[in-house]
Structure 1
Amino acid sequence: MSTVIMSEPSDEQAAMQHYLVCGTEDCQENGQFYCNDCHRPLCEHCRDEHVKNPDTKFHEIVLYRHRKHQLPVEKCKLHPTRNVDIYCKECKIPICSKCSTMKEHHRHEFDDLEEIYTEKYALQQGEFSKIQKDFLPNTKSLKSDIEADATKIQKLMESIRTSMKSEAESLKNLVDEVSSENIDHTHTMEKSLLEMLKSQETIYDDYIAYLGKMSDDFEHHLSLTNHKLLFSETLKIKTIPETTKPVDPVFTAGRFSKDDVAKLLGRVNISNAEPKKRKIQPMEAVTTQMKSTEKQLEQSNEKSDMKQTLSLSSSVTKVREYSVPGVGNVHHVSVEKSGRLWVSDYSGNLVQTDLQGNQLQKIQTSGREEGYHTATQEGDLIYTDKGNKLIYRITPDRKITEFIKTGEWTPVSVHSSRIDGDILLGMNMTQKNYWGLPVKKEAKVTRYSKAGKELQNIQRDNKGQELYSDPDYITENINGDICTSDYKKRAVVVVNKSGQHRFSYTGQGSLFIPYGICTDVLGHILVCDCHSETVHLLDQDGGFLSIILSSQQGIKCPLSVCVDDENNLYVGQRNTNTVTVYKYLQ
């Protein structure tokens, strides 16, 4: 008859059960105690009975979590009828009780093998717990980090490839442009030289005609009967006119190599910096991170739920109005999380107000009719200085500091991403000729990290064509698209996060003069059209949905729009310092 040993539940498994059943036959109570000698769980009543029983009153009874683990059954190889249950400290081997009486183990010290097994079991249980609570979460976190890095590298390299193609296409266009100019120059030079030679031909044609006339005159004199005239009148021949041979044009071939072209186009290199080791967090940090991740997921789910429940209202409702002191009109609005407003006008006045419209601070800037300020998720305000080509940051304690220097480029519009905190800048630069006169204006969008590090430049499409003329207002959609309102292009220009052109919106057939632009939680794009004095509502892909605001709602030349965290729409206009707030989602 074989003996069957039932495996006991681990501490974790026991904790997951509703309760552990008492090991006494026909007893179904909670076995919260444990007899280390009988190796079975006991309820409180059976424990008391166990202690009273003369046969078991000296058994060791402990709380279940402090129990000794039963030694697995192993038969002794020398004495097959005995179980191995003793440990010889001298020989360092497990033996049975009969082995301990043999002369090989005479005067040796012995330990209870079950005690050693319990100790080792506890150690292994601790290691198992480390795997579940520390090593496994850490490793999964590192793996997720690697996957995120791989995705980031793929996106970055795709962006670099797009930029390289754009630069190459731009260089090709420049080569074609210079080559075309050089060829045109040869035509002009050829025409000038041929005209000079034609003029010389005319000179000699005239001289040949003159010589013919002189020949006739000589012939006439020689044929005269009165030879006295021949002596009295002397004919003189004019000298042959001098002309110059043209200097032959010489073509000096450009001297360049593959390396020269590579220098023009740039290279992709890996930094010499030592790669940073991935941080393995202690168990407490892993636990905290898991809780933080759960909180983020919960917040994300809340936003997702809100998005699913929101939709466009059948009508737009005015909620409230703010009269902003210190500004003549409202060219741009930024709303802080607290609900306080930042408003700027055509004269460069930048004013902060509280929820009641009271002025809190006022700054004189170089901004005019652009979206040159933005509120961050951290509660700061960032604004551009066109004159000094700087970006400033204002902290909630009203401290103003320099944040980003833009070099030769003039910063026009700015937006702080609600997705990752990155800073998007719309910028332009005017190139001048030798005499200092403007000859060409370039524009681009640059992405900076929230710490002010330059990450990305977007200037041309895949065909090498300029994307922007004047990116006066800029924002970001929920899918990462960068949306700019370009006054001179008369268009809303939208690129994806990698900088690839997605679409351009140019209105509904009539003249379209875009100003302020923003997006909402549903991915809608809202843009002001100053010509028709309306606000257009577009879907995420640039499809026209409706005129959301017009003169019917009392709107006159809207210049700025902004949506806050409560999905309220703020609208500023040209000839008033009033900011009007509307509800358009339900």
Structure 2
Amino acid sequence: MDPFRRAQITLLCDQCETAPLQSHCERCHINLCKVCVGEHLSDSSIRHSVVPFEHRKPANYPKCLNHADEHCKHYCENCDIPVCSTCLSSGKHEDHTLSDILENLSSKTQSLQNDLEELETRIYPRYKEMASYVQIEKVELEMTYGELVTATDQQGEVWHREITAIVNQLKSDIEEMKNQHLSILNKNKNEITQKITELKQIISDLKSILQSNDVSLTSTYKSRNSDFKSLPPKIRVTLPSFSPPKINKDQLNEMFGSLSPLSINTEHGDTMKSAEAVSSPPVKPLLDEPRLTATIDTGRSLLLSICCLSEEQVWTCGNNEIMKLLNLKGKLLTSIQTESRYQPRDIAVTRDGDLVYTVPENKTINLVKNKQIQTIITLKGWIPLNVCSASVDDLLMTMISDDSKQSKVVRYSNSTETQTIQFDDQGRPLYSSGGCIINSGGFTFSNTKYISENRNLDICVADRVARAVVVVNQLGKLRFKYTGHSSNTKKLFNPVGITTDNQSHILTADYNNDRIHILDQDGQFLRYIQTCDLLGPYGLCVDVRDTLFVAEHGTANLKRIHYL
């Protein structure tokens, strides 16, 4: 006999326990009255399956592990196992607490659902966030240690200059002493040479007198030997010597400079509370007036997309097949040409520092690693638009169908599609369609959909045709749409590039109005960046220190702006 249809018994709702039941949720194994059905279905986190009570599926009781022909309709709370009637009659479960196994299953199913929800919405995002922060720390590590090496080299150059100056001064002193010594010796030599010349003349004269036997010459001769018996002074010079002190390496290191010790503290991971919000970094207030700190000529005629490789290096792409890596002085550091010779639609930098770019013409997503290009994804029926690097090395991409009638966001992990976001809870498209034209020169797009993942793992899309910033959470549920801020602008909101920072701000370029909108993570307008001589802002990116880079489409200038 059906245990739920005993004669003369009015079956009541399991939820309120007062009204007669009318329906049954096969997902939660619970009986509901008409009023409680609505409340039960309001929990959208669970896919309920509510049917009329008489159409419910028969109870699916599990078979007993100890008695193969029996089904378990009870659950022993003490032994934590399902039990059948034979198990009960054996006396092993006497005085134990028993419950209906379907009620137990419903309770455990709800517990599983709660665990799943907590894992997906709270715990897993925290781990992804921590992994993201470790990657940011690794980037900052490279920069910080690079700065230490540069500082050491600079100090070495200072010492080299000082030592070279000392050596050159000593050499100059040695040369001066040498010249002084040589001058004295030359003077002494000249005096001696003069005396020798005189002596030679006297000797010659004496020989001539003796040979002539001339009485007059002999009688008039006067001796000068006494003049030469006093020899010229003999110069004695004590030569200089070089006496370098013994080098004390400890003192030398102390004079040169020293490194502070590396301090590594491992903090015990905090225990998450069930409703704990994701923690935020220290708040950096917005500047009253953003500062333009650099304007870089990229050498292009048009500029579409940019992405930061570091604080000093930025990848750019424009109206040809060449992607350029520039420093802040506009110097070309390297360039990559697409294998297909088609213009890249968008570019992004992965967590490992590799370059990713999309090519609509051949529907590919490509990775540049060590200057080698490999196609990692080839689409069918869809055309790739814009791309960004997401947490834990995922890629997020916007795309449009071949017939331009559908748009969606897809997440890829290791080139495998892991998530598709296309419709809201009512089945309506989240993103605009249209805007793709195929001509002899390839694809022409008016419907850009630049994309960025926020620090709170929201997915933010600047939908140009819809004139809206569309933000969904990590599960693809719509959070809000931002359609511009009421102001004295004469032109409609025209969002193009989009980026997010470590404060969970959302920044989008308003191309028609030459300004950038700054929103908080909940879509509330905070302020504009409309100074800094912006002209047609298009692509956006921020570096690890939240410095903003803006690509101006028509001027092809790259501007670096501090706004925090």
Instruction: Give the structure-1-normalised TM-score.
Output: 0.45
TM-score (norm 2): 0.47
